[in-house]
Each structure stands twice: as C-alpha cells, then as structure tokens.
Chain A
C-alpha cells in the first residue's frame, strides 16, 4: 500500500541553517527507507511565492499567482512510501525531520490501473 506523507509548516519560521539541516537529515531518511524497501519518492518544494495555480473553466485556462489556498502553514514537501498498514506509515511519518517543526499528513494513495510503470 502506498501512502503520501504531506509535510506542512509555516515556511517563514525556517532559518537557512535549519532548512539545510532538514534537507540533509531528510536525504538520510530516504536512504534508510530505500534500504528497507519503503522508499518511493520524496522532495521538498520551493516557497509558495513561486506557486502558480491553474483552473480550466468552460474550456478556458485561468491562471493565478500563489498557492491554491492562503493558509498559515503551507505544503512544503512530501514523501511517497510503501507500507503494509497505517501503523507503519505513522512510524515512518514520525521519523521525518520536519515533523518536529510542522505537521505530517498521511494520505493513503488510490492505486489506479493503467498508469505507466
């Protein structure tokens, strides 16, 4: 079963030093997860000031500057993992470095057939 671990935090509260440390620790975690066969993908996201939102209505593309919703905490990165159940997904989520500063939301992934491998 695949779980998406979405990492939310207030991006303005991170110092440059904290961010670098978090990246380094996260890379280390991905290596550990890879070794146990639980790793699928992971990445931090650029700040929301770089976000662009697109909607298509009546066949017309609408472009707006900024994220989908202005919130106090923002989506800042993700881990995509493979785990047999929610308990194991929770154990991995609590090892994510940014869980100590922000919040990790665990979402089970819907497995579609016909996706390219």
Chain B
C-alpha cells in the first residue's frame, strides 16, 4: 500500500530529470524553429517555455513521446496561436494566424536549418558587433543575461538593454530569418566566424570576468564552431575550429596554481590536451588542403 505513492514519486522525478535533459539538448533547437513559425523572438521564447511546462505535466502522466522535439514545437506553436487569439479581438490578426497554421515544420532538414538561420540572424552585419556577440550567446547558446554580463564584466541591465535593442531592430527593420544567398554567404559567414572568435578570445585572453565563466565562454565558442561546421563545412570554419582547439588544448598548462601566466617553453606539456591537439591538427590540415 505505502509503496505506490513512493513509486509514483520516483517516476515523476525520473520524468523531471529526463525533461531537464531534453531541455538542455533540445530547447535551443525548439526555439529556433518556433522563431521561424511564429516570426518573433519574444513570442517564440514564451511559446518554448510554455511547451516545456506542458511537457512536464503531460509526460509525467502519458510518458515521453517518440519525438520530443516535434512534440514541443507543435505544442509551443499551438499555445502561441492560442494566446494570439486571446490577445487580439476577432479578425484583427486572422490572416496572421492563417499564416502560422500553414507553415511547414516536420522536415528534419528544415529543422536543422533553423539553427543556422538563428545564427545568421544573430550575427547579421546590420547589428553592432557587441550586439551580435550578446545575442548569439543568449539566443543560440542559451546563456542567461547574467552569465553573459558576468563574463564581459558589464552590468546585466546594460547587456539586457543591448539585447532588447537588437531584437527590436531585427523586428522593425526586418532582418530576415534565413540562411543568406550564395552570393552573400562569404561576407555573412565571416561575420559569424568573427563573433565565434570574439567569444573564444574573451574566454581565452580574458580582459575581464572570473576564471570559471571565461573557460565556459571558450567552451561555448568551440561548441558554436562545431555546430556551424556540422551545418556548413567550409574551409574557413574548419580552420577556425582547428585554431580554437589547438589554443584550448593548452588551457590548463598556461597558468600556475596561483594564476600566473606560464610561457609556452616553460609549460608542462604533459598537461596539454592531446585529443584536442589531434582534432585541431586534422581540421587545420583539411582546411589548408581545401583552399
């Protein structure tokens, strides 16, 4: 008799853990797709959180669906449409609603493209470099405003404002949510790589911020580099990722226990990360070979 509630409790906490995991791995993807479907950053963010809230409740009861991501996108979209209906009076935005209903969302390839769309939008050259960096860390990497502000040693309110302004420009000047045309790709990719390198460099050379957050920035930059390489394996992308891995491989050997800088020739080479060096070398070679 007394075992039943206990068992339910375990199942519930298990589901919660799984939802947490899905949140970590899928929330940015879900968000990227919702921006395309809903056409608005704020609305997508809200819909994404709504979807996870519903998931937590419904999955505890019915179990986790076969494709959590598609489920979350679909629920997020319907919740957003619902709230638009509630907010607008009758026919005011019926055409807008009709559009939302028609957009496709199932194609796997298209879903992957959404992440690339998000990166290109956040790194659009019509936004200031500072705004590009902040927006990318916030929207693509999912870092909190406080985390980003901490890493760059600026007030969270300043950073929040930077992000709000950038989003307003995206909306009002209609910065498109799309992967640029082939003709524009080199220029636009350069802008993306510059943002990634700025993030990495901030984590590596560290003009500011605590040691921990800085290491996290470098890790985010490498993660972004990997993502862009996966979606767009251009030589320039391979080269940048290779360079970052080679630099990162010496992180632990670069500083003494009391935080002093150790020059290259004095570093304990057994501390170098061999896996990163090996991967970095392969990438640099591939990048050079394809030039």
Footprint of B on A, CB under 8 Å?
A: 1, 84-87, 90, 106, 108
**B126 CB–A CB distance under 8 Å:** yes
Task: Give Cα distance in the complex from A86 to B127, angstroms.
Answer: 12
Binds A, one of B77-85, B168-176, B226-234: B168-176
Instruction: Give 22 A-B contacts (CB < 8 Å), ordered by A residue.
Output: A1-B174, A84-B174, A84-B176, A85-B174, A85-B175, A85-B176, A86-B124, A86-B126, A86-B173, A86-B174, A86-B175, A86-B176, A87-B175, A87-B176, A87-B178, A87-B180, A87-B184, A90-B126, A106-B173, A108-B172, A108-B173, A108-B174
Task: Give Cα distance in the complex from A1 to B175, angstroms.
Answer: 12
For the complex of A and B, the 7 pairs showing the least CB-CB separation, nearest first, are A85-B176, A85-B174, A108-B173, A86-B175, A86-B173, A87-B176, A86-B174
B176 to chain A: which residues have CB within 8 Å? Answer: 84-87
A26 to chain B minimum Cβ distance, whole angstroms, is 23
B268 to chain A minimum Cβ distance, whole angstroms, is 50
Task: Give Cα distance in the complex from A85 to B181, angstroms.
Answer: 13
Q: With CB as the reference atom, state the residue of chain A lying closest to B180.
A: A87
Besides A86-B124, A87-B175, A87-B184, 8 more A-B contacts (Cβ < 8 Å) are: A84-B174, A86-B173, A86-B175, A86-B176, A87-B176, A87-B178, A87-B180, A108-B174
Q: With CB as the reference atom, state the residue of chain B lying closest to A107.
A: B173
Main secondary structure of the interface of B (DSSP, over half): loop
A87 to chain B: which residues have CB within 8 Å? Answer: 175-176, 178, 180, 184
Q: With CB as the reference atom, state the residue of chain A lying closest to B176.
A: A85
Q: Tally of A-B residue pairs with Cβ under 8 A?
A: 22
Mark out the residues of chain B between 127 and 177 whose CB falls within 8 Å of any chain A CB in the assembled complex.
172-176
Task: Give Cα distance in the complex from A54 to B124, angstroms.
Answer: 38
Task: Give Cα distance in the complex from A84 to B124, angstroms.
Answer: 16
Task: Give Cα distance in the complex from A91 to B163, angstroms.
Answer: 26
Task: Give Cα distance in the complex from A106 to B176, angstroms.
Answer: 15
A106 to chain B: which residues have CB within 8 Å? Answer: 173
Q: With CB as the reference atom, state the residue of chain A lying closest to B178.
A: A87
A66 to chain B minimum Cβ distance, whole angstroms, is 31
Q: With CB as the reference atom, state the residue of chain B lying closest to A110.
A: B172
B172 to chain A: which residues have CB within 8 Å? Answer: 108
Task: Give Cα distance in the complex from A106 to B174, angstroms.
Answer: 12
Task: Give Cα distance in the complex from A89 to B208, angstroms.
Answer: 38
Mark out the residues of chain B between 171 and 207 whose CB falls within 8 Å of any chain A CB in the assembled complex.
172-176, 178, 180, 184
B184 to chain A: which residues have CB within 8 Å? Answer: 87
A1 to chain B minimum Cβ distance, whole angstroms, is 6
B37-81 to A contact mask, C-beta < 8 Å, 1/0 = 000000000000000000000000000000000000000000000
B126, B174, B178: residue with the most chain A Cβ atoms closer than 10 Å: B174
Task: Give Cα distance in the complex from A69 to B201, angstroms.
Answer: 41
Task: Give Cα distance in the complex from A90 to B173, angstroms.
Answer: 11
B175 to chain A: which residues have CB within 8 Å? Answer: 85-87
Task: Give Cα distance in the complex from A90 to B127, angstroms.
Answer: 13
A1, A84, A86, A106: residue with the most chain B Cβ atoms closer than 10 Å: A86
B151 to chain A minimum Cβ distance, whole angstroms, is 29
A30 to chain B minimum Cβ distance, whole angstroms, is 22
A57 to chain B minimum Cβ distance, whole angstroms, is 31
Q: With CB as the reference atom, state the residue of chain B lying closest to A108.
A: B173
Task: Give Cα distance in the complex from A112 to B70, angstroms.
Answer: 39
Task: Give Cα distance in the complex from A106 to B173, angstroms.
Answer: 9
Task: Give Cα distance in the complex from A108 to B169, angstroms.
Answer: 10
Task: Give Cα distance in the complex from A90 to B156, angstroms.
Answer: 32
Task: Give Cα distance in the complex from A86 to B174, angstroms.
Answer: 5
B243 to chain A minimum Cβ distance, whole angstroms, is 29
Task: Give Cα distance in the complex from A90 to B184, angstroms.
Answer: 11
